[in-house]
Every structure is written in C-alpha cells, then in structure tokens.
Structure 1
Amino acid sequence: MPDEPGLTVDSEPADVSAGTAGSGGTALDAVAEELYGVLPDEFVAERDAAAARARESGERELAKAIGRLRRPTRAAWLANLLARHRREQLDGLLGLATGLADAQRTLDGAALRRLSSTRHQLVAAMAREAGRLAMEAGDPAAESVLRDLQGILEAALARPDIAAQVRSGRLTRTVSYTGFGPDADPDARPVPAPRADAPPLRAVRVDAEPAGAEHADRERAQQERAQQETAQRERAERERRERALAEAEAEEEAAREQQQAAEDARDAALEERDAARDRVAELTAELEAARDRDRAAAAAAREADATAKAAARAAGAAAARTTRARARLDED
C-alpha cells in the first residue's frame, strides 16, 4: 500500500537493488548493475543464469540475493535508461523539486505556475528522449508506457525517496503522484501576482449582483461536482489497483518462497549426491587396493606352494639316497 496520500504504485514494489554489507554486497552490486541494463524481457533469464553461476561457485547467499532481484516494469526500465544515459538532463529535471517545494510552501502562485510549466515541458521532453533510447535499444516503448514514465518523473519531483530510486538506475516499479506537492506552510501568506498599473475606477453603485452571477455559480457547482466525481473514480481505480497489487505481491512472495525451498532442497540433494559419489570413489579405491593385495597374495601363495613341493621332492630324493646308502652299508 502507498505510504503517503497521492502516491500510487501500479506495479510490483521497489527493491532498489543495493548490495548487502561485505564482499557479497560488492558482488551483488556488480550483478545488479549489469542486470538492470538489459531489456525487460531478458531480465529473468539473465538473473536466473547469474544466480546459477553464483550457486555453482558455492556462493549460496549471493545466489539467493540475486534471485530476489525484481524485474523492472517497462516504465521503470525507461527511467533506468535515463539514469544511465542521460544523467545530466535527469539531474536538471529533478533539481526543480526544491523550487517547486518552496513555491508550494510559501504559496507563491506566480513562481509555482512558472515552475509547473517548466516541469511539464521537461518531463515531456525526458519522456520523448527515453522513447528514443528505447528505440535504439531495440525495444520501442508504447505511448502508454511513456505516460507511465512521466508519472514516475512527476512522483520523483514530489518525493525525494522516489527521486533517489530513479537516480539509482535500478528502479523496478511504476509510480505516479496525484497530489499537489508538499504541504503549504500554515503561516505563509499568498504572494500576489504582479499586475500592471490600472487607472482609478469610478465609484459605481451596485444595487444587485450581475445578471449572469447565478448562472456562473451553477456552472461552478457543476464543475465542482464533476471534479469530485472524477476524484472518486480515480480513488476507486487506485484502490482497485492497490488491491490487485497486494494480491500479486502475495502470489509472487509465495512463489518465491516455493522457489527458494525447491532450490534449497535441490542444493541439499546435490550435496548429498556429491558426498555419496566421493564415498563410492573412496570405496572403489579401497576395493581396487584390496584386489591388488589379493592378487599379490595369491601369486605369493602359488610360489610358496611350488617351493614347498620342490622341497618335498628334494627331501624324498634325499631320503631315498639315505635308504640306499644304509642298505649298502648293511651288505658289507
């Protein structure tokens, strides 16, 4: 839900992808900087590939952080193009915010009208420039997307936090501001618009209101009712969009949690498989060594058996010779 009246969010919430602390933050910043420069339709595939590379490198926390990066809406992508390729012009536009805020707070109508005219001109020009950049990038922007971009730039002029997100070049959401800028200073007095000197008016007796006053009052009343009805319709539409956003966010969050759980289970299974394979390799090596020892022992046993048989034959032959010698001795 929007955190201030007048600010509506037409797409997923911003997660301006700043890195976390430490070396992982630096790595995440580098990945985010690259991802938010690709076309919106290529973002998810590039993000998943980057997360897979981090996971394969053993950086599971970095992989999870990359997986949480949000794809930018097309209007947010256009704002990112301006932040990346038209930084000076963008800073010039956002620099109007201070003057607009001062004019609003002091009720300086002339300054507010002058700055508002400049703001509208610059916002329109920046939107056209973003359209040219999108065309050069190979992803032309529709008129509705350019209007959404103008809403983002208007919101950035009204809200410093939105301006910071736009300047980051990593905006992910489409925002629009329907308020009238900062609150006026309660002690301020309207600054009268400069008027040319006019000749003194002659005293005129007014006995009744002009004939057209009643008709003008009716027209003003009708205009006020029409404006109120329009405002009610806009509020109803904004509330409908906010409900749709909340539902989409809940669905996405549930899907992200399921994805994370599945990835964790996969990582655990892969680790268990690798451990099992390592154990198989160890046992295979032990088995091969045992087989080598068995073969060596079998060869030694065969050799010892042959030696024993040869010794037995030699002993038998010696016994035979002894018997013959004894027999000859007895004959004498």
Structure 2
Amino acid sequence: MDFEEAADAVYAAPAADFIATRNELAKQLKAAGDPLGSTRLKALRKPTVAAWIANLVARTLPDELDDLLALGDEFREATADLDGERLRELTPRRHQLLDQLAKEAARLAGDAGQKLSPDVGQKLRETLDAALVDPAAGDAVREGRLSSALRHVGFGVVDENGEPSNVTPLTDDRRQAAQDRRAARQAEEAAEEQGATEQEEREQQEREEREQAAKAEAKRAFEDAVAAAQDAEAKVEELDKQLDDARDALSEAQALVHQLGTDLDEARRTAREAQKHSREARKHYNRL
C-alpha cells in the first residue's frame, strides 16, 4: 500500500474511526519503508461532518458528481460568452442537480448511521455548489479527501473557517468523460421518448384496428338481423295466406254442410210423403 491508497482508505473510513485508521495505516507505511508517506498520512486532518459526507458522495456517486462539475463548465462558457439566455436555461438544472445530490447525500449519510442536521446539510450544499462554480474546488471534492466543507465567495473558495482552500484544477479527461456521459444519457432519454412515442402510435393503431373490426362485426350482425327479420316477415305473410285459405275452405265446407243438411231434411220429407202415399195406395188396392 502506498500513500495515495492509504489516504483514500483513511477518508473512506467511518468518521469515528478516522484517527485510529490514520494512525494504523501510518504505522504500516513506516513499517513498509515509507517514513515520508507515514508522516504525510499523520498530517491528514479529520474531516468535519459535512466534509465526510461530501467525500462519501464522491466515492458513492462519482458519475452524478461529474455531471454537476460538467454543468459548471457550461455555466462558465455561457458566462464568458455573456449568453444570458443560456444562463437562464442552466439555472434550473443547477438547482435540480444540487437538490438531487443533497437528497442522495442525506440518504447515504443515514445508511452510514450519520445524521444530517440542517447546518451540515447547508454546508454540504455550499460545498457541492462551490464544486460546480470553481473547477479547482470541483476537483478537490471529486478526489474525496476533503477535511472541511467548501464555500464559494466573491474572490474564490474558502473552507468552513473562512480560510482560502488549497484546491487543484479539474482535469480535462474527467470533464470530457462527464460530458460524454451526459450526452449518452440525453441520447438514451431521447431514444426512450422515441420508443414511447412509437409505442403510443402502435397502441393507437391497434385501438383503431380493433374499433374497425368491432364496427365491421356490428355491421355484419346488423345485416344478419335485418335478413332474419325479412325472412320472418315473409314467413308471417305465408302463414297469413295459408290461414286465409284455410278460413275460406272452412267457410265453404260449412256452407256445404248446411246445404247438405237442408237437402237431407227435404229428402226425408219426400220419403215420408212417398211412404204415406204407398200405404194409402195399398189400402185402396186391398179394398178392391
């Protein structure tokens, strides 16, 4: 383990274990033949609560932090170009990123058992804002070895005691990497938006197709119902005709029955009269 690795391990340790971790690793460096590194490690200052949480953010959320630093580049470019419209566009994004990182920092601190008081929360937000405004402060925050929270004032960046902070510039490689990530994220969001639009269009087309199919089915059902009604009407007309014919036939049969009854009665009377004349003729014959 060299000094850089040891320093990272010291600032990554829980805040309550900073001194013990620093002293133990300093002993290891000295035992490994690096007395200078051991001395340098012993000189490292214990971070304040706000600084410790800022270091936690740098280790846990490096991409989100680099996005914040890249946004600072855009602010400086717009300021150099006196582009007021662009600055107005970037300001809401600045507040959004700061709010997002501050919220995530509070969650990370809670998970690590560290309560985030309003004062510490304000100092953390000032540190993140200083990282956005000043590229050197951004590099210091990104390194994850802060011992004090930072604050940007009119003439530069100061620590929690108001003393000028010794910070180094942000590297071009990390700035470009952050810009590349932001461009990739924007492309991904655009692709997702395009995909959502295409999905919505497909769903709309499917709805229209279902509606057309439903209309066609309803039309077929209507036509079938009309045809069935027409067949039923034709059947009714046919039955009505058959009923009328049957009624006519019944009427004729009834008339025939009546006529036959009348003729039968007349024939019976004629037969009775003939029998009467036959008896009288017999009697007359017998008397002769």
* TM-score, length basis structure 2: 0.51
1:148 corresponds to: 123
Does the 8 A contact of 2:26 with 2:38 survive in 1? yes
- Asked whether 1:97 is paired with 2:101, we answer no
Mind listing any 5+ residue stretches in structure 2 that lack a counterpart?
165-288
Aligned positions of 1:186-225 closer than 5 A: none
Instruction: Specify the alignment match of 1:115 in structure 2.
Output: 90
Choose between structure 1 and 2 for higher RCO, CA contacts under 8 A separated by at least 6 residues. Answer: 1
In the TM superposition, residue 110 of structure 1 has moved relative to its aligned partner by 2.1
| Aligned counterparts of 1:178 and 1:57: Cα–Cα separation in 2 | 43
| Higher-helix-fraction structure | 2
The one-letter code matched in structure 2 to 1:175 is L
Q: How big is the shift at 1:32?
A: 0.9
What is the SS of the residue equivalent to 2:138? helix
**What is the CA–CA distance in structure 2 between the aligned matches of 1:59 and 1:167, rounded to whole Å?**
26
Q: Which amino acid aligns with 2:77?
A: D
The one-letter code matched in structure 2 to 1:28 is F
> Which residue of structure 1 aligns with residue 35 of structure 2?
60
Secondary structure of 2:12's counterpart equals coil
Which SS does the other structure have where 1:95 is aligned?
A: helix
Report the residue type matching 1:107 in the other structure. L
CA offsets, 1:6-64, max 9 Å, x none?
xxxxxxxxxxxxxxxxxxxx611111111111122221121112223334555432321
Question: Structure 1: which 5+ residue stretches go unaligned?
Answer: 1-25, 182-237, 247-332
Partner of 1:51: 26
1:119-198 superposed matches below 5 A: 119-179=94-154
| Cα deviation, residue 152, structure 1 | 0.8
- Deviation of residue 180 (structure 1)? 9.8
Aligned-pair identity in percent equals 36
- TM-score w.r.t. length of structure 1: 0.45
Q: Which secondary structure state, in structure 1, belongs to the residue aligned with residue 151 of structure 2?
A: strand
Cα gap change, 1:106/1:180 in structure 2, threshold over 3 Å: closer, same or farther? farther
Number of positions where the alignment pairs a residue of Structure 1 with one of Structure 2? 162
Quote the Cα distance in structure 2 between the aligned partners of 1:116 and 1:159: 16
- AA partner of residue 46 (structure 1): T
Q: Pick the structure with greater CA Rg.
A: 2
Kept after mapping to 1: 8 A contact 2:3/2:29: no
Is the contact between residue 73 and residue 174 of structure 1 (CA under 8 Å) also seen in structure 2? yes
CA deviations over 1:215-266 (Å, ceiling 9, x no partner): xxxxxxxxxxxxxxxxxxxxxxx9x944xx69xxxxxxxxxxxxxxxxxxxx
Contact 1:39 1:139 in 2 (8 A): no
Counterparts of 2:3 and 2:57, CA distance in 1: 22
Structural RMSD (CA): 2.5
